[in-house]
Structures are given as structure tokens and as C-alpha cells.
Amino acid sequence: MLFNSIEFLIFLPIVFIAFWATPARWRWIPLLLASYYFYIYWSPRLIFLILFTTLVAYLCGILLERAGERRGIRRLILALTMIACLGVLVFFKYFNFLYDTFYDLMWLFDGRFPPGRFDIILPVGISFYTFQTASYVVDVYRSEIKAEKHLGYFALFVTFFPQLVAGPIERPDALLPQFKTRRSLRELDYIGAFRFMLVGFFKKIAVADAIGIVVNATYNNVEGANGLAALISTLLFSAQIYCDFSGYSDIAVGCAKLFGVNLTENFKTPYAARSIKEFWNRWHISLSSWLRDYIYFPIGGSRVRTARWIFNITLVFFVSGLWHGASYNFIIWGLMHAFYQIVGKFTLRYRDGFWKRLGVSVEGKLVSRLRNLGTVALVTLSWVFFRADTPSDALSILKKIFTDYSFNLEYLKTTAETLSLSIPLVAYAAFALLMMLFLEKLKYPDRAALTDRCSSRTRALLRFSSYAIMCIATICVWIVLQAYDIGSSFIYFQF
């Protein structure tokens, strides 16, 4: 079920009551049953996949611990487990993509290979819970954690419903102990939970879904769009995907807090980054850190020769792109970020030298702002491949952005018609985007210094008014979208 649905608004209070009405030592049971129901609601026929992954990883952890110091046996157990768990991911997510690629290669070399595809349903959240179980198995293999003996707690680690289908990707040493901690209702951070959830719902419904209408108008009709329409839609998609995914993460964090669980915050104002490297330290943090700890560092990281580092960073972003989807678009998107990082590293000293020769401080506001704008521009260009349906559509969009302009009244009228723009929609979009600019501060009272000159009472009033406006805007936009039958899943549910 979607977080932004009536079903979930009914489901969450029921689970909350059942959880806290159960004796502390048995609370994992209603939470686990609720998590399985949440998953079954999406795809009942594929429940066996998450059960299979859970049991394999659970048994592997125990076997690894029993194998002691026998490295050969430990490596064999690890290899078999990775083949079993990641094999499920590869088959269900990438089989048709690999088959089509192989067929295209055979056609290119005039080989005879029968065309065809399997009718494979992509299980919801498979990329997330597969990576989560993989991190558990590797951590046990490295002896960084002890194997979890309680099957119920381990199953809850894999299926915890707030982060089951779109993360964050949690580490076992951070999440498992929290399920075993006995808390009381008095210890709950209700205000923090509802603050995160409100901000998340506003981002998703009032911002992402609203501006998504404009984005879809262009990207679903690439040939009919002009340069200005393509540019506006691409800029708006940068805001849409951020609000959509960070909105989900905020809702997940808020939901988890209602059960005494603290999840990883997945975003830290990524569009304030001054480099692509910094952007990835702020964007989808749980995935970035997973790729760093389980792929980048084990193959040498940056402590290798230059050629090897280029290979390492390219491999990591290739995996990142492929993780997002079985499509050339996502691979190109990932490789673009690898290219950005490689070029950024080799040009850094020349760029710093340029500013020093001008007598401008590299750490000053001017350079920081320019680097931030450059980073946002590069990220936005890469989003074109992320959002477009095919590489050819993405190239067409980019070509229009850089060439297709004719500033006259007819051109502007055509642009407005293509984007389905109206004065109320433009005014609302401007309001929503402005609200989004300080949402992150509102989530944290200690960072929400709206103005140092205001009294504590005034700051509290401003904060309350902001939340009230967000709540009203979210409800109103949701009603309008439902009235026009404009449903919207979270973008990252497809991964």
C-alpha cells in the first residue's frame, strides 16, 4: 500500500495500537505480521521471495559463526549465500534486460538467436531488502557482528514495513538491537515522528505529485516539446525526485519513530553540495555508504594507482546505475556521475589555482555559490537520462534544451500549452517550491532559527503556522489529485 493512501492511514493506527498493547517481549510479533501484510498487499504471489531471502541469510549467519576460523568453509558459505540471494535479484530484475542485450549482440553479428522475453513481475522493494540482507551476511563473515539467533527478530530486520520497499537500507548493527530494546510509550518522540511525517507528506503530495504533472507532460511527449518546455520540466524533475524520495524517507523515519525505532536519514540537503562527491554524501546516503563499504573499499577505494581508482569509481557508479533499473538509461546516468567525479578530481587544483590568481578565496561565498550552481547543473543534466524512457528520448531532450528556442509570443504560448500551465498552477508551484526551501530546517527545532531577532514565542508561532499551511496544502492537493484520478506511486518503488 502507498504511504499516501487511505489504506495506510487506517493501517498505521491499527499496527500502532496492536504493537503497544502487546507485552514488550512479544511486540516483534504484531510488527512482523504487519510488515508481511504490508508486503503481501503489494504482491501476494511473491511473498516466497522475501521468505526465501530471509531464511537463506539467517541460516548463513549461523553457519558462518559455527564455521569458526575455517576460512575455506566460510568463503564457500558466503559465496553460496550471495549466489542464492543476489541470484534472485538478478533473475527477477535483470533477466529480460540481459536477454535483450544478448539478443541485440547476436543480431549485430548476424547470429541466430530466438527473440522472446519472460513475463517476470518485478517484486516491490527487492533491491532494498536484498542489499540489506547482503550487508548482514558480509558483516557476519567479517566478524563485525554476531549472527542473529532469533528468527523473528531477523525476519523483522528484513521486512520492517516503514523502510521495506524504498529504504533506507539499514545496517544490522544499527537496526536489530532496536527491535530488542524495551521502550515505553512515555519515551516516544511523538512530536519528532509527526514532524517528519508531515514534512514527508507535504514533499510527496503537495510538491512532487503537483509538479509531476508538468514534468510528465514533457517527458511523455518528447517530440512535441520545445527547448523551453524541456528545460522547465527538467529543472522541475530535479525538485520532483528529491521531494518524492526524501518525502518517502521522511515518512519512513516518522513511522519508525512511532515504534521506538530510529532509521537512517537518507538526505541532507543534497542540492546544497559544492561537488558531485559531496552530493553523494548527501543524497541517498544509505545506498552511497553501502556501495562505499561493500564495493568501493574492498576493491581498493582511492588508495590505489590512478588508473585503478578510475576503474574503481566507474565500477561503483555502474553498479549504482544498474541497481536503480535494468535499463541503459540508468547505466548512462551512473556513468555520468563517475565521469563527473573523475574530471572533478583531476581539475580541482587547476580550478583552485584559477581563483587564487584572481585573488578570490576558494573557501569564500562566491566560489562556494558558483561551485554549488555548477554541481546542481551537472546533476540536473544527468536526471534527463534518469527520467527519460529511452536514451534516444534523453538525447532529444538535451538537444532541445541547448538549441530549440525562439522567444516570441507564439513560442511561449506553445510552451505553456505543452506543459499544461495555468496562472493558478504556476502560482502554486512557486509557493510549494519556496516552502520546500526551508522544510529541512523546520524538521529540526535546533536548526530552525527562522530569525535570531524573533522571540521564542514568535518562532514557535511561525513554526506552527508553517506546519498548518503545509497540512492544509497537502490535504487540498491530495483531494484535487483524487478528484482527477491522478494517482502517484513513489518513484523509487520501481527499484
- Residues carrying an active site annotation: 324
8 Å CB contact between 213 and 221: no
Rounded Cα–Cα distance for residues 372 and 376 (Å):
6
What's 265's DSSP letter? P
Rounded Cα–Cα distance for residues 224 and 415 (Å):
10
Q: Report the residue count for the chain.
A: 495
Place of cell 523546520: 442
Rounded Cα–Cα distance for residues 221 and 492 (Å):
22
CA angle 54, 297, 177 (to 5 degrees): 40
Place of cell 554476531: 146
Rounded Cα–Cα distance for residues 479 and 366 (Å):
43
Instruction: Return the exposure string of 137-146: e unless at least 16 CB atoms fall within 10 Å of the residue's CB, then b.
Output: bbbbbeeebe
8 Å CB contact between 470 and 243: no
Distance of alpha carbon 337 from its chain centroid, rounded?
A: 16
- CA torsion sign for 300, 81, 287, 339 is positive
8 Å CB contact between 241 and 223: no
Instruction: Return the exposure string of 91-106: e unless at least 16 CB atoms fall within 10 Å of the residue's CB, then b.
Output: ebbbebbeeeeebeee
- Residue 23 preceded by cis peptide, ω within 30: no
Rounded Cα–Cα distance for residues 335 and 361 (Å):
32
Rounded Cα–Cα distance for residues 77 and 75 (Å):
5
Residue 359 gets the label, from left (phi > 0), alpha (psi -120 to 50) or beta, of left
Compute how many other C-beta atoms are within 10 angstroms of the C-beta atom of residue 51.
15
Task: State the SS3 of 299-325.
Answer: CCCCCCCHHHHHHHHHHHHHHHHHHHC
8 Å CB contact between 94 and 132: no
Q: Helices 126-141 and 47-66 meet at what angle, rounded to 10? A: 10
Rounded Cα–Cα distance for residues 292 and 277 (Å):
12
